[in-house]
Structure formats: structure tokens, C-alpha cells
Chain A
Amino acid sequence: MLDIKRLERRWLKYKIKKFLPYAVGVIAILILGITTFFWTYPEDSKNAPKVVTLPQKLPAEPVVQPIETTVLEPSMEFVQSFQGTPPPQKAQAVAAYSPKPVQRQVYSKPVVETFNVPEYTPPQPKVLTPAPKVSTNANGISINRDESKLDIDELQSRFKENSNANLGLFIARYHYEHGNYSEAYNYALKTNTLNNRIDESWILFAKSLVKLNRIDQAKKTLQLYISQSNSDNAKGLLESIDNGSFK
């Protein structure tokens, strides 16, 4: 008889034990980093006493800073501009600001584009098809066997007999993984007619359509399905088809 509570406690203990070395390592690196930072920082400030002027400029750099600095600075600049001498400090400050927002804008776009992409990359077809092994018997007859493949023909004939939606989904997934997109389409369609609430079957159906270059039909199908089910997976797939990240 299973003692689930005890088993869950043991699992938690195991997980803590497993991740403890990593956590300790990360904390140690953090502590090391912080201490080295504080160790080296005062030395730098001691070695370069001339740069003491910098702290006076620093409060002027962030625009967010309250009125204290902005109230004082403009009056001085105006005085300088009236005297005809351009303020060199301000020019430096503007130059220091300009690259930051530009970089942020550049980085922000790819984050949006890569939404949900890894989930929809088709798995490698190698998984179920290792190279057939060859055996030779006394008469020199070689036997090629490839039993690692699932007996898909047998499964298909069983599906014809019992029309089980789960089996249909299994076969559709098998064909999709092996690149037989038209077969995957057919079986996903049959599965959908048997049970129209299986999310994965609709996803496979739409993905097979895309692979068969029937992108518009795939989009329409997904839109229809989303309107009925509000499926997040379907939304993600539709978005990646629109972006062109799923081909």
C-alpha cells in the first residue's frame, strides 16, 4: 500500500538535496561577486581623486531626478550661454544618454517574436526508427528487422475497427513526427470528427495544413476553433503562423 504523504515528503527532501549544491554554488558566486565589487570600488575612488567632480554631474544625469538639480542647473546654463561659452558638461551628459534608449528598443522586438515557438517545432523523426539490424544464419540468409517502429499499419486497421479518438490522435501524431503530413491531416480530421474537444488534435490538424502549404485554411480552422474553445495553444500557434515563425 502506498503511503503518499510520506512519499511526497521524501520527494521534497530529494529535490532539496538535488538542488542544494546548485543553490549553494549560486549564492557563493553572488557573495564572491559582491565582496569583490566592494573590495575594488573604494580603491578606484582613492586612486582617482581628480574625478571627484563626477558625483556633482551624476545627479544631473537621470532626467527622473526631482526639481532640486533641475532648478539649479538651468539658471547656471543660461548665465553661461549669455556669456557666449557653450556648456561642455551638458554635451557629455546628452551623449551619455542617447545610446541607452536605442538599445532597449532594439532588444524589445525579438522577445515578442519568439512567443511559443519551441513548442511547435516538429520532433525529429529519428526517435522511433533506429537503423535495422542484420542477422545472418547458417544458410547465409540475412534477416532485416525493424521492430522498433510501431506497427502503424496494425494500429490503423484497429482504428478502422474501433474508431477510438485517442488512437486516432496517436496515429496522427506518429505521422506528423515522421513527416507524413497528409496522413497526419487525415487522422487528425477523423479524430476531430470523433471528438472535437481534443486540443492537440486541432493543433496537429492546423500544423499539418501549414506543412501542406494550406496556410489560409489552417488559419481559418484555428480562428474557428479559438472562437469555440478559447484555447491558448491554438492562439499561440495562430500567432506563430501569422509571424511566420511556424512554417
Chain B
Amino acid sequence: MENSLFSKPRDLFLDVVNPRDYVQIDSVSHMYQLLKDSVQKPLKMILLYGRPGTGKSMLLHKLHHDLSKHQKVFMVSTPIIDEDDFLRVLAQNIFGHAPREVMTLNRFLEVSGALSLSDVPIVLLDEAQLYSSALMEKIRLISDARAIKFVITLHKTDKEDVIAKEHFQTRIWESIELQNASAEELKVYIQKKLLKANCFDVANMFNDKNMKLITSLTKGNYRETNKLLFSLFSLYCWYEENQPHSLQYNAIKPKWIEMAAIHTGLIHA
């Protein structure tokens, strides 16, 4: 099974956020450049939002990877819900201060004021919709005091418009919305990913008809695409091992794309 032609492509589409797997696509690169430019501006908060699976976390990790070479950047991938823990973790990782007493907001601002850093440190908060209102208010106060510059990512949902939220209405100076990929962008995404890993023969198998089907099933969502292709190549691995006569190496079978979509829940059958 592991010697299969399709096991390597399958593993490429594991839904793991790794900045090394970042694939440059027209719209995403444009957004990333905007984000980088915004970070250089004297802003207090930058909001990166979009529907789940549009690549927010990947951009944030990529930004962390690139900025950490030049300046003080701290990334909070998993939300820290407790306020005291949150301030304590920031104080320790940014200012190198590990207090034994309870870390209050005033104490935190004192610590940051005592250490006059040449550049305002940057904190990247992923999944910020999970933070409580009280903690978001503290984050706002910290950014107002210019102790830390925050870049936060939020899910955009149908029910609520995050931009309208009280915390962000007046505090955000830059907001960037990420969207799903078009059919062409998705094709480039898949092919670049495969070519990067030297899977030329598998990259050759994707034709425009396949891409239309994949885009219609995933609606251009990167996470759904990754899940679908992981399933698809798992199917190929199985058929290669058990029914090799049913394999075609010149094109992807639409039937198997649909079967993978059924398996991942994109098609309700």
C-alpha cells in the first residue's frame, strides 16, 4: 500500500497547517501582501476573516514564519480562554517575564511599559471568535496602549457579521476578507502542490472536467478540497492494491471523485 503511486499524493492533502506547504496562488498572494503591508503600518489591530477553510490559519502561520526572522512575533494557535493565563503567556513569551502573582491587566501594562522595545511586538491570534467579550476588551486595551499589535483571525458566519461586533467596529484599522478559490485557482493549487512533490504523472491526470466537478463539490474551499483529494487518493490506493485492472492512468474517474465526495460528506447519498 505504501509503495502505491497514489500514497504520496494522498499524504500531500492531509489537512495540516504547515507554512512550508503554502502554495502561491494569485488571490492568496495578493491577500498575503496586503497583510504584510498592514503589519508594517502603525495599526493597532488587523482582522483577517473569512469562511472556514479559506486559508486564514495558513496565512497566519505563513506570516509568523516570515516575520519571526526579523522581529518579535508570538503566535497563539489554540485560544487561551482564561484571562489570567492569556496575559501570563503573553508576558512570558514576549517580555520574558514570568510572574508568580496573578497577572492583571495593569500589571501587564506596567511590565510592557518597563521594557521599551524598539518595535511593537506582534501577537497573532487564531480562532479569535472563541475568546470571551471580556478578554477581547482587554486585548483592545492592550492594543490601544500600543503595548502589542494584534493580528486576529475570525470565522465569518451567515448568522453574524463579525465586522459589526462592538470590539472591532472602532478598533480595527485594517480588515482583510479571504474567499474561496475559483475553478482556475483550485486547479493551480492542486497542480502546484503535486508538482512541488514531483508527482508529475498524477498532476497530468487532472483535466478540466475533473476540476469543474471538484470545484462544484467543494465550492472552491481549500479545506474541503484537501479532504476530498485525500479521500480520492485513498480510493486510488485501494483500487491499485485490490483491483488494478480498473485503474486508468490518463485521467481521474468522475465516479471516484463522487465516491470520495460521498465518503467525505460533500454528497449526501
Residues of A within 8 A of B (CB): 2, 4, 7-8, 10-11, 13-15, 17, 123, 127-128, 130, 132-133, 135, 137-138, 143, 145-151, 155, 162, 164, 166-167, 169-170, 173, 200
Q: How far is the CA of A149 from the CA of B185 in the complex (A)?
A: 9
Could you say which of B24-32, B73-81, B100-108, B214-222 contacts chain A? Answer: B24-32
B191 lies within 8 A of A133 (CB): no
Q: Does B98 contact A (CB under 8 A)?
A: no
Count of A-B contacts with CB under 8 A?
94
A143 lies within 8 A of B33 (CB): yes
- Interchain nearest-CB distance for A67 vs B (Å): 55
B191 lies within 8 A of A150 (CB): yes
A166 lies within 8 A of B200 (CB): yes
Q: A4-B242, A132-B26 are in contact. List 18 more A-B contacts (CB 8 A).
A: A4-B238, A7-B235, A10-B262, A11-B262, A14-B258, A127-B184, A133-B30, A138-B41, A145-B26, A145-B30, A146-B26, A147-B28, A148-B25, A150-B195, A151-B192, A166-B204, A169-B204, A173-B204
Choice from B27, B234, B262 contacting A14 with Cβ under 8 Å: B262
B259 lies within 8 A of A11 (CB): yes
Choice from A2, A148, A200 contacting B26 with Cβ under 8 Å: A148
Q: How far is the CA of A15 from the CA of B267 in the complex (A)?
A: 11
B195 lies within 8 A of A147 (CB): no
Choice from B33, B198, B235 contacting A4 with Cβ under 8 Å: B235
A127 lies within 8 A of B187 (CB): yes
Q: Does B34 contact A (CB under 8 A)?
A: yes
Interface of B, secondary structure class, is helix
A135 lies within 8 A of B30 (CB): yes
A150 lies within 8 A of B188 (CB): yes
Q: How far is the CA of A130 from the CA of B203 in the complex (A)?
A: 20
Q: List 5 A-B contacts (CB under 8 A).
A: A10-B269, A135-B34, A148-B25, A164-B198, A166-B201
Choice from B41, B182, B204 contacting A130 with Cβ under 8 Å: B182
B262 lies within 8 A of A2 (CB): no
Q: How far is the CA of A151 from the CA of B259 in the complex (A)?
A: 32
Collect the chain A residues with CB atoms within 8 Å of residue B29's CB.
Answer: 145, 147
Residues of B within 8 A of A (CB): 24-30, 33-34, 37, 40-41, 182, 184-185, 187-188, 191-192, 195, 198, 200-201, 203-204, 208, 231, 234-235, 238-239, 242, 250, 255, 258-259, 262-263, 267, 269
Collect the chain B residues with CB atoms within 8 Å of residue A13's CB.
Answer: 269
- Interchain nearest-CB distance for B245 vs A (Å): 15
Choice from A127, A145, A147 contacting B208 with Cβ under 8 Å: A127
Nearest residue (CB) in B for A133 is B30
Closest 4 CB pairs of A and B: A14-B269, A148-B26, A166-B200, A137-B37
A148 lies within 8 A of B188 (CB): yes
Collect the chain A residues with CB atoms within 8 Å of residue B41's CB.
Answer: 138
Nearest residue (CB) in A for B258 is A11
CB contact under 8 A between A147 and B24, given known A7-B262, A14-B258: yes
A148 lies within 8 A of B185 (CB): yes
- Interchain nearest-CB distance for B252 vs A (Å): 15
B255 lies within 8 A of A11 (CB): yes
Q: How far is the CA of A128 from the CA of B203 in the complex (A)?
A: 14
- Interchain nearest-CB distance for B175 vs A (Å): 15
Nearest residue (CB) in A for B182 is A130
Q: How far is the CA of A11 from the CA of B198 in the complex (A)?
A: 32
Nearest residue (CB) in B for A124 is B208
- Interchain nearest-CB distance for B180 vs A (Å): 15
- Interchain nearest-CB distance for B100 vs A (Å): 43
Collect the chain A residues with CB atoms within 8 Å of residue B267's CB.
Answer: 14
Choice from B37, B184, B250 contacting A135 with Cβ under 8 Å: B37
- Interchain nearest-CB distance for B65 vs A (Å): 18
Choice from B40, B203, B255, B259 contacting A170 with Cβ under 8 Å: B203
User: In this complex, which of A7, A130, A132 has the most chain B Cβ atoms within 10 angstroms of its Cβ?
Assistant: A7
